[in-house]
Structure 1
């Protein structure tokens, strides 16, 4: 019987909203999984300025942290069939930067809705510019490219989800190599400003791609431990995954052996503080994920289930077994989400 770890970013609501959100949820299977446990712990994230708690957890668990920072680029490249070739690579995400009166802000990358054709066209325009200044640029998917910059290893960067919706002045890349990065960003902005892709997107009232975000530097790609499956996640997590699910209807296959499943459905609503949509999505997960997991656990098809839940500020882990689920005197409740 397999041991399963389920990672659910943003299932922990922020404290100021938690009581109302929990009252709005009808999730008995999730309540049982959280209440009838053999172990649980919760901790405040040490530093969410550069990476969110679940991103830090993935970096630690997969052995992809360097100098305390998530170093996902080289391993994600391998997932896209690309060879890091011993260099230092960064993840590059095409982005939309919003300029306000007092600050600038990067929109959640999920809002771009960038198609493969659009991304390929922007990539092909950007690649010669990068190569002219000595940096190879490789294509992963519409939202995930990779830049080689062996001499930029000291740049202090943040993950896109840590930055989305925040004042960008707090996340300006730091380090002695940051100047050539900013120069490349400025040149890319000018290149894309008049690009036909952006002209067409403006005509459809879609956000233009007017910059890129660089992060996740890694110089090597160690063999990743265990089986990692994912669904509803950014491209870099799909790149780390040995299996990407098309829908939760494929859940049985992901539960057939020991492994970790990352479910990213809640991120967009939580980052936008769209709590009505968040409640609806948790209800869908109750039906399509938590109830089947609870049934599999009670029926003995899963030996042990570990839930790794996060918010922007905290991380919580819950471990349960079929034996723990038999502790009928523990009334199921969602209070542990607070």
Structure 2
């Protein structure tokens, strides 16, 4: 039977936005539960446990992800302010081309090569450091966690952390100096583009022994999620602009949603119509804060349950 899961951001992102009458009634009658807030762990079974994005995306990009350990060193744009420096963009958001990586990487190769971590960029928006498998690494934050915030609050090597963290802070500082002084960035600025003046280290690890999932298809604009889907051997594609019926156990990644109105119009209402028609057995709404709603056709008889006015009810 066909089932669908909508992966959604934390409920607080929608604030007090109100549901339409039909959707609010359905959610009021739905089964409601709380699960682990780690959405990735809910989507994939990964062994050994972890989220080694660099190795998995490297395997999809090049096919050599099983050779040692990997760390993403994605190109980034940071802007200094009175309190430090804010991470404003990275990767795809920077409109990078092969010309950009071809111009900037040669200046960075001596720095990372001397440290024993060769750098390359098989894709202009995804840069990699190749590491010996036994390399000890600090904990690196994902760029999504730091975006828009003071980057230094998310870097390893702060008070109470070990020498590995301080080493990577020092490497980042040296890379920032190289990039800041590179003439190619002046050309980007003249063309109306943000400079590439920093890197973001994240996703460290080795290729997992296995990646499995109950889903038969995943639709997402998150390249990490689709890379793990490819490693699991299932269909992975970009998120469509609105609901579209698919066979099997399907996941749509809607974590970028900000407004309930288009979410209801383009996704919740047409999916609910498919549920009423018997084309779906179940709809699950899985929020990043762990809240989960399960919608089934039989719930239409729960007249005694009050409609949900907003996600904060």
Maintained 8 Å contact 1:95/1:213: yes
In the alignment, which residue of structure 2 is the partner of 1:71? 52
In the alignment, which residue of structure 1 is the partner of 2:205? 218
Shift of residue 119, structure 1, vs aligned partner: 4.7
In 2: Cα distance, 1:323 partner to 1:117 partner: 53
Residue deviations 1:24-74 (CA, integer Å, cap 9, x gap): xx545543453221233377xxxxxxxxx5xx320454234867x643322
Shift of residue 287, structure 1, vs aligned partner: 2.0
Q: 1:133 aligns with which of 87, 112, 115?
A: 115
In the alignment, which residue of structure 2 is the partner of 1:200? 187
C-alpha RMSD over aligned residues: 3.0
Where do 1:165-244 residues align within 5 Å? 165-174=148-157, 175-221=162-208, 222-226=210-214, 227-233=216-222, 235-241=223-229, 242-244=235-237
In 2: Cα distance, 1:157 partner to 1:244 partner: 27
Q: 1:100 aligns with which of 75, 81, 88?
A: 81
| Structure 2 alignment gaps of length 5 or more | 230-234
Q: 1:320 aligns with which of 295, 299, 306?
A: 295
Q: 2:40 aligns with which of 43, 54, 58?
A: 58
In 2: Cα distance, 1:108 partner to 1:331 partner: 43
The question of 1:284 aligning with 2:283 is answered no
The structure whose Rg is larger is 2
Aligned residues: 300
The question of 1:248 aligning with 2:247 is answered no
Q: Say which SS state the counterpart of residue 165 (structure 1) adopts.
A: coil
| Structure 1 alignment gaps of length 5 or more | 44-52, 267-277
In 2: Cα distance, 1:123 partner to 1:286 partner: 44
Taking structure 1 as the reference length, the TM-score comes to 0.76
Maintained 8 Å contact 1:96/1:112: no
Moved more, 185-194 or 90-99: 185-194
Shift of residue 161, structure 1, vs aligned partner: 1.3
Inter-CA distance 3–122: structure 2 relative to 1 (3 Å threshold): farther
In the alignment, which residue of structure 1 is the partner of 2:6? 6
Inter-CA distance 41–264: structure 2 relative to 1 (3 Å threshold): closer
Q: Say which SS state the counterpart of residue 13 (structure 1) adopts.
A: helix
In the alignment, which residue of structure 2 is the partner of 1:47? none
Shift of residue 210, structure 1, vs aligned partner: 0.7
In 1: Cα distance, 2:310 partner to 2:6 partner: 19
Maintained 8 Å contact 1:35/1:330: yes
Taking structure 2 as the reference length, the TM-score comes to 0.81
Inter-CA distance 238–38: structure 2 relative to 1 (3 Å threshold): same
Shift of residue 211, structure 1, vs aligned partner: 0.8
Maintained 8 Å contact 2:24/2:307: yes
Maintained 8 Å contact 1:93/1:213: yes
Q: Say which SS state the counterpart of residue 283 (structure 1) adopts.
A: helix
